């Protein structure tokens, strides 16, 4: 994402990488994790340069041996190139 250690100290991932709309989306999925639900969703991350990265996130709750929620695990897959191609195809479909 282009950030160095000093850019990130004292800040959360939410403050650095996500805009307000993405933060609201994440909060909704966080609530689902607290209820024990897994799921996949798309997010946009903003690089230090301002460029957007598009991700598919697979999120799952982490439960300890006592059955208590202790966190969330997520796997991020970069789909930026796919989104760029989709946008180009939509543009091409509606323009000569």
Count the neighbouring beta carbons within 10 Å of the beta carbon of residue 1. Answer: 14
Distances in Å between the alpha carbon of 11 and those of 68, 80, 84?
27, 25, 30
φ, ψ dihedrals at 77, nearest 5°: -120, 125
pLDDT exceeds 80 at position 28: yes
Give tens-digit pLDDT for 30-65: 888 888 899 998 999 999 999 999 999 999 999 999
**25 falls in which pLDDT band (50, 70, 90)?**
confident
Q: What is the pLDDT of residue 86?
A: 92
Give the whole-angstrom CA distance, residue 62 versus residue 69: 6
Cβ(73)–Cβ(79) under 8 Å?
A: no
pTM of the model: 0.74
């Amino acid at each position: 994402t282009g950030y160095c250690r000093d850019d990130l100290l004292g800040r959360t991932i939410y403050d650095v990488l996500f805009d307000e709309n993405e933060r609201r989306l994440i909060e909704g999925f966080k609530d689902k994790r607290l209820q024990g639900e897994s799921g996949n969703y798309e997010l946009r991350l903003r690089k230090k340069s301002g460029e957007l990265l598009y991700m598919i996130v697979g999120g799952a709750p982490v439960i300890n041996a006592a059955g208590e929620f202790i966190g969330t695990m997520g796997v991020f897959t970069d789909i930026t190139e796919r989104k760029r191609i989709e946008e180009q195809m939509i543009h091409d479909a509606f323009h000569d």
